[in-house]
Amino acid sequence: MLLGVIPAVIIIKAQIAHVTFKRFLVITLASLLFMLTVAFANSPNWLWVDKNSKVLGGLAMPWSYTVNLSLFFVHKQQENEKEILLPDATIKDDQKSIVVLVIGESARSENFSLYGYSKNTNPLLSKTPGVFHFNATSCATYTTAGVKCILEAKNTGELYEILPNYLYRNGVEVVWRTTNWGEPPVHIKNYLNKEALMKDCKGDRCDYDEVLLNNLKEQIAASTKNKILIILHTSTSHGPEYSKKYPPQFETFKPVCNSVELAKCSNTELVNAYDNTIGYTDYILYNVIEDLKQLKEYKSAMIFVSDHGESLGEKNLYMHGLPLSLAPKQQYDIPFIVWTSDNSLKQLKTENSLSQDYVFHSVLNFLGIQSPVYNEELNIFK
């Protein structure tokens, strides 16, 4: 009555003053200008707004009811969306083999010393024999699209069966471990999110992405299958609080930015915090490789690909998510790092830039899976 009906009655009763078109234009432009001034005066808060946009959008009236009501039904329908199944695959041999696919979060190749960065952000991988890195670009600048591209046979607008679902359906042991979100629906038995992983993990390190490695070797060793695909979906380099994404021991580059308002930090502090997340990623990937080395009866590979890159204040841009056509290269130049236990990498032309599409076909090749959708041109292995 007080906030709805009475104001509505007042509005119905109100006299409408008809103004000239010129006056209407002046008022509209002045209002717009006023709103823009307020928005720009508060520009340091944009990142906060962006980070919390979903929650804010859900609260803002009357948007909340008008838009989210229809969104609710759209999402309901998407939940029931059936993925298009790929033609059946066959396992060609019974050689024991494993691929660990590590999906990076907001990792840009520019800040990896493997890619020529001046700070030593890859102290462990750079000393590990058999580690190769390729220039690569992501298909998008945000997580859901980037992860989908990494997992599908080709980049389409459709929802085709993704790599873990496809291999699981065709007899491969598939494990998904995640501290992140945003992947297409995964239909496998061993899907472990952060809560599930935390349950069996002890110590301070469990709060960070190392939790993804907890009992991993044991889980692999317990498998009765010859072909295994492990997917680790990390979240280490996601902003804006980079400094909270690695254990204190990994604060190699100091001082760091501890604010969520990135524009309030100096660029050095911001880049230091981000570089520490890359150093921590280096440590995680190194440990994946060490684990695989100990599983001697398997032929194994580790592939690290990021979902997209990240802006760290270049051109006054932060984080990611700009449309690909406008985005600076920092948002789509991604690391593509590979290690194999048996030197099975193909001789690739170094000037070639890889895409995320290479993952699907390379994993099929490495695990010895025959499939009508396999594309040899998108395979990095012999």
The residues of the shown chain that bind Zn ion, judged by CB under 5 A, are 105, 143, 307
Residues paired with 302 in a beta bridge: 100, 339
Which residue's Cβ lies closest to Zn ion? 143
Question: In Å, what is the CA distance from 164 to each residue of 125, 138, 356?
Answer: 26, 20, 15
Residue closer to Zn ion (CB basis): 138 or 165? 138
Give least dist CB 308 to Zn ion, A. Answer: 5
Question: In Å, what is the CA distance from 315 to each residue of 45, 318, 327, 332?
Answer: 18, 9, 10, 15
**106-140 burial: b if 16+ Cβ within 10 Å, else e:** bbbbbbbbbbebeeebbebbeebebbebbebbbbb
Among positive and negative, which fits the CA dihedral 360, 361, 367, 369?
positive
- The DSSP result for 301-317, as a single string, is EEEEEES---EESGGG-
Give least dist CB 281 to Zn ion, A. Answer: 13
Residue closer to Zn ion (CB basis): 103 or 363? 103
Give least dist CB 222 to Zn ion, A. Answer: 31
Cα angle for residues 225, 226, 230 (degrees, 5° grid): 75
Give least dist CB 213 to Zn ion, A. Answer: 20
104 in Cβ contact with 234 (< 8 Å): yes
Give least dist CB 143 to Zn ion, A. Answer: 3
Residue closer to Zn ion (CB basis): 110 or 173? 110
Residue closer to Zn ion (CB basis): 143 or 331? 143
Residue closer to Zn ion (CB basis): 299 or 308? 308
Give least dist CB 106 to Zn ion, A. Answer: 5
Rounded CA gap, 213 and 225, in Å? 20
Residue closer to Zn ion (CB basis): 161 or 310? 310
Tokens of 115: 């890619």
Give least dist CB 160 to Zn ion, A. Answer: 21
Q: Is 345 helix (H, G, I), strand (E, B) or coil?
A: strand
Residue closer to Zn ion (CB basis): 139 or 220? 139
Rounded CA gap, 251 and 242, in Å? 11
Q: Could you tell me which of 220, 210, 146 has the C-alpha nearest to residue 184? A: 146
Residue closer to Zn ion (CB basis): 173 or 307? 307
- Which residues, at least 6 apart from 251, have a Cβ–Cβ distance to it below 8 Å? 243, 276
Give least dist CB 277 to Zn ion, A. Answer: 13
195 DSSP 8-state letter: H
DSSP E strands, the chain: 90-91, 97-104, 131-137, 173-178, 190-192, 227-233, 299-306, 311-312, 318-319, 333-340, 354-355, 369-370
Residue closer to Zn ion (CB basis): 142 or 360? 142
Q: Could you tell me which of 90, 72, 34 has the C-alpha nearest to residue 372? A: 90
Give least dist CB 245 to Zn ion, A. Answer: 13
